[in-house]
């Protein structure tokens, strides 16, 4: 049985084909039309879509195949103790489910480095307790440019870790954002580890590879974690029926 999983984000569309819980193909699309064309030539039995930009009704108008739309009513393979479950982001659900498919019988912390950085925690008894949300890498860089009069808009140089002690305004901005996020993550991870023995941490999302230096025996970087989570949620709903 093949399953199509689709994650429509703010800037890109990520998709994958799974067969018997094995990742067979993975795609990244810069626009919806590219995804639409590819979906017409792929063979699959079931599909799930997570979207922050398209509504379920709009997707039904655009697509010629049936799909499960991930929302607050979708059955999930964990006990959700979030105080406002209707506001829990779809990517956060998928990330923590993806983490659980990889690591069983232990507390898990999924850190998704996207437009925002989200921290999502599930205890050893498969109870989702919540987490935290902070500004993402690009959001921090843009905020310092847009909310000040003189700071320039900069980006991190591809594959280059910024110098810790910045010696120019540009390098200071890069240092502040990069190490600010790094120390933030280390702080969250340390606090969770002190409270929950045996914690496993999975870092995912578009900016996750920038922070691969954080990986240790209990910290893992899995950029496509959300896709694995979507596949598990789809299988859970198919089997439930």
pLDDT in tens, the chain (241 residues): 899 999 998 888 999 999 988 999 999 999 999 999 998 889 999 999 999 999 999 999 999 999 999 999 999 999 999 999 999 999 999 999 999 999 999 999 999 998 899 999 999 999 999 999 999 999 999 999 999 999 999 998 777 889 999 999 999 999 999 999 999 999 999 999 999 999 999 999 888 888 887 777 789 999 999 999 999 999 999 998 6
Residue with tokens 């990889």: 102
Dig out the tokens for 97 from the structure.
């489910």
Work out the end-to-end distance of the chain between its first and last CA atoms, rounded to an integer number of angstroms.
Answer: 15
What gap in Å lies between CA 124 and CA 126, rounded to an integer? 6
Nearest one of 233, 241, 230, 220 to 17, comparing CA atoms: 230
Provide the pLDDT for residue 241.
64
Provide the pLDDT for residue 11.
82
The answer to the question of whether 73 is labelled as a binding residue is: no
For the packed helices 90-102 and 225-240, what is the interaxial angle rounded to 10 degrees? 90
pTM exceeding 0.75? yes
What gap in Å lies between CA 93 and CA 154, rounded to an integer? 32
Q: CB burial class (10 A; 0-12, 13-18, 19+) of residue 55?
A: exposed
CA 95 from centre of chain: 5
Q: Which residues contact 202 (CB under 8 A, 6 or more apart)?
A: 95, 98, 99, 102, 103, 108, 109, 110, 111, 219, 220, 221, 222, 225
The answer to the question of whether 51 is labelled as a binding residue is: no
Q: Which residues contact 36 (CB under 8 A, 6 or more apart)?
A: 62, 63
What gap in Å lies between CA 193 and CA 9, rounded to an integer? 30
What gap in Å lies between CA 31 and CA 161, rounded to an integer? 30
What gap in Å lies between CA 221 and CA 206, rounded to an integer? 11
The answer to the question of whether 154 is labelled as a binding residue is: no
Q: Report, in angstroms and rounded to the nearest whole number, the Rg of the chain calculated over CA atoms.
A: 19
CB 229 within 8 Å of CB 101: yes
Catalytic residues: 91
Q: What is the DSSP letter of 205?
A: S
The answer to the question of whether 10 is labelled as a binding residue is: yes
Provide the pLDDT for residue 134.
98
Q: What is the DSSP letter of 132?
A: E
């Amino acid at each position: 049985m093949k399953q199509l999983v689709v994650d429509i984000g703010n800037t890109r569309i990520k998709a994958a084909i799974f067969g018997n819980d094995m990742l067979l193909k993975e795609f990244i699309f810069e626009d919806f039309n590219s995804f639409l064309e590819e979906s017409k030539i792929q063979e699959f039995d079931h599909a799930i879509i997570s979207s922050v930009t398209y509504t379920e009704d709009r997707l039904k108008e655009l697509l010629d195949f049936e799909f499960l739309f991930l929302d607050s009513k979708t059955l999930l393979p964990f006990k959700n103790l979030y105080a406002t479950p209707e506001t829990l982001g779809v990517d956060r659900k998928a990330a923590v489910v993806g983490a659980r498919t990889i690591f069983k019988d232990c507390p898990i912390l999924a850190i998704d480095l996207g437009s925002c950085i989200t921290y999502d925690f599930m205890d050893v008894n498969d109870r989702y307790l919540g987490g935290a949300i902070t500004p993402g890498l690009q959001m921090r860089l843009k905020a310092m440019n847009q909310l000040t009069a003189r700071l320039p808009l900069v980006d991190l140089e591809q594959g280059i870790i910024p110098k810790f002690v910045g010696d120019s305004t540009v390098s200071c901005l890069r240092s502040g954002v990069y190490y600010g996020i790094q120390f933030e993550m280390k702080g969250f991870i340390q606090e969770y580890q002190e409270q929950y023995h045996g914690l496993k941490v999975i870092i995912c999302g578009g900016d996750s590879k920038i922070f691969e230096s954080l990986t240790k025996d209990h910290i893992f970087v899995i950029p496509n974690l959300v896709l694995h989570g979507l596949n598990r949620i789809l299988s859970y709903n198919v089997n439930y029926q």
